Amino acid sequence: MTTVTRAPAPVHTSPTVLSALRNPRILLREALAGLVVALALIPEAISFSIIAGVDPRVGLFSAFVMAVVISFVGGRAAMITGATGAIALVVAPVVKEHGLDYLIATVLLGGVFQLVLGGLGAAKLMRFVPRSVMVGFVNALAILIFTAQLPNIIGVDWFVWPITAAGIAIIVLLPQFTKAIPAPLVAIVVLTLVTVLASIAVPTVGDEGKLPDSLPTLFVPNVPLDLETLMIIAPYALAMALVGLLESLMTAKLVDEVTDTGSRKTREALGQGVANIASGLFGGMGGCAMIGQTMINVKASGARTRISTFLSGVFLLVLVVGLGDVVAIIPMAALVAVMVMVAVGTFDWHSITPSTLKRMPIGETIVMVLTVVIVVATDNLAIGVIIGVVAAMVVFARRVSHLTTVSRSIETLATGEQHALYTVEGELFFASSNDLTTQFDYVDDPELVVIDMTRSHVWDASTVAALDAIETKYHQHGKRVDIRGMNDASQAFHGRLAGTLGAGH
C-alpha cells in the first residue's frame, strides 16, 4: 500500500511592520507608496470638502487623522481611509441646513454607530456578497474613477492632453525597466518639473482650493445635547455608518483578493468607527476606505503594510501645511494620469470577454451588469451593492426552485390495497413550495397517500404551510396522508410549526 502525502496549501502572507522596518528595500517601497497616495489625496479631499459644503481644511484634516488612526486600529493592512465622496454626499444636507457643528456631531455619532455595528458582527454579512456583485462593484468602481477625471481633461487647455498622455506613458513603461521607485511618483515629479520649467499654464492642485497653513486642533461641536439634536443627526449618522462600513468592507475584500491575503473584517469595522470619532474630534468631515487611493497604494505602488497607510497621512499633513506652495504647483494632469491607470488596472477585463460571457450563466451576468448600472447611475457604491445582492438572491432562489421535483406512482400492497406514492426531491422553501400543492391528484388518488421526503429538505414556514394545505385538501376528500422520510432537521422544523399556520392560529 502506497501512502500519498500531500503538501499543505501555500499560505500567502504580507510583510509585517517590524519586518518592513528591518528591510530597507521594503521600507523605501512603503514610504514612496505613502508619498504617492498623499499627493493623490490632496485634490480629492478638497473636492469632497466642496461636495460636503465645508472648507477644504475639513476634508484634508479628516484624511490625515483617519489615515493615521486606521493604520493602528484597522484590520486591513495597506488600505487607505480618508474623506470620501460617498460620505460627503450623505452629510452634505446636514451642513447646508444646520452648519458645521452639527456635521461634526453627526460624524461623532456615526463613528459610535459603526462601533456598535462592528460589535454586533455586521462585518460577517460580507459572506453574503456573491462574486457577481463583487465583479460589478469592481467594474463600477473603475468606471467612476475614470469618469471623475473627465472634468480635468474636458474643456481645458489642450496642453493638458499631452501632459496626461506623457504621464500614462511613464506609468506604463517605467516598470519595464525598474520597480524600485513607484512609477506614479516619477510621473508626478517629472510632469511637475516640465510644466514649471517650460512655464506651461495648466490647472494645478492649488486651483482646487486653499491649502491649510496650521495643524488640526481639538474641536468640540457647539450643539445642544438634547433629543431634538439627536433626531436631527441620527438618520444621517446611521446612513453614514452603513455606507462607510459597506464601502470599507468591500474595499478590504478587494484588497484581500489583489494581495492574496486575509484580513480581520470585524476589526476593520471597529477601526472605522474609532477613526471617524477621531476625525470628528479634530474637526474632520469623516469618511471611510478610499478605493481609488487604496488601489494606488496596493496595485500601482506595491505597498503591503500599515506603514504606507500611516505615512500617507503624515506626508499629507507635511505637504499641505509645510510644503503647500510646492504642492500647489503640481499639475492636475499628472494626478489624472495616475487615476486613469488605476481605473484601467482595477477594471476586470476578463469579465467582459466573449468567452467569459458565453460560459457565464445569464443570471450571473445580469447581476453584474445591474450592479454596475446602479452604481454608475447613482454615483453610490453602497446602493449598487445592496441592489446587486438582492438581485443575486432572486436569481439564486429562482434557480434553486426549479430543482424541486415531485413524482407520482401507484403501489399495490400484499393485501390488495393501493396507495399513491409521491416522491419529493429538492430544497423546499418559499420559491419552490408555493406551487407544491398543485402537484397532487386529490380527486383520483386512493384513500392512502404517502409523501416520501427522504430526498428533500424543509427550510421555511412556507413549506410547512404548503404541506398542511396538502393534508387538509386530502382530508376534505376523505383520504389519509402519511408524510415519511424527513431528515432530523426537517422533522424538528415541521413538527414545531405543523398545524399552527392556518388562519385560525
User: If you write DSSP's letter for every residue of 266-304 in order, what string do you get?
Assistant: HHHHHHHHHHHHHHHHTT----EE-HHHHHIIIIIS---
Provide the pLDDT for residue 90: 82
Q: Rg of the chain over CA atoms, in angstroms?
A: 29
Provide the pLDDT for residue 130: 86
- For 257, residues 6+ apart whose C-beta sits below 8 A from its C-beta are none
Residue type, 227: L
pLDDT digits 0-9 by tens, 169-220 = 998 998 888 877 788 888 888 999 999 999 988 998 888 777 787 888 999 9
Range 444-453 average pLDDT: 93
Judged against a pLDDT cut of 60, whether residue 2 lies above it is answered with no
> Cα separation of 129 and 412, whole Å?
50
- 3-state helix/strand/coil string of 320-357: HHHCHHHHCCCEHHHHHHHHHHHHHHHCCHHHHCHHHH
Provide the pLDDT for residue 60: 92
pLDDT digits 0-9 by tens, 360-381 = 889 999 999 999 999 888 877 7
Question: Which band of pLDDT confidence, cut at 50, 70 and 90, is reported for residue 288?
Answer: very high
Provide the pLDDT for residue 367: 93
Question: Which band of pLDDT confidence, cut at 50, 70 and 90, is reported for residue 4?
Answer: very low
Provide the pLDDT for residue 8: 47
Question: Which band of pLDDT confidence, cut at 50, 70 and 90, is reported for residue 12?
Answer: low
pTM: 0.73
User: Mean pLDDT, the chain, as a whole number?
Assistant: 88
> Cα separation of 147 and 440, whole Å?
57
pLDDT digits 0-9 by tens, 402-432 = 778 899 999 887 777 889 999 999 889 888 8
pLDDT digits 0-9 by tens, 64-122 = 999 999 999 999 999 999 998 778 878 888 998 999 999 999 999 999 999 999 999 98
Provide the pLDDT for residue 502: 61
pLDDT digits 0-9 by tens, 47-62 = 788 778 888 889 999 9
Provide the pLDDT for residue 503: 47
> Cα separation of 210 and 42, whole Å?
11
Judged against a pLDDT cut of 90, whether residue 237 lies above it is answered with yes
Measured from the Cβ of residue 173, the count of other Cβ atoms closer than 10 Å reads: 10
Range 13-32 average pLDDT: 90
- For 267, residues 6+ apart whose C-beta sits below 8 A from its C-beta are 73, 74, 75
> CA torsion angle for 12, 15, 17, 21 (degrees, to 10)?
170
Provide the pLDDT for residue 328: 86
Task: Compare 398 and 314 and report the one with higher pLDDT.
Answer: 314
Instruction: Name the percent of the chain lying above pLDDT 70.
Output: 97
CB half-sphere exposure, 414, CA atoms < 13 A: 0
Judged against a pLDDT cut of 60, whether residue 505 lies above it is answered with no
Range 391-395 average pLDDT: 89
Provide the pLDDT for residue 93: 86
Residue type, 170: I
Range 339-360 average pLDDT: 86
Provide the pLDDT for residue 504: 41
Angle at 145 between CA 124 and CA 280, to 5 degrees: 60
Provide the pLDDT for residue 76: 94
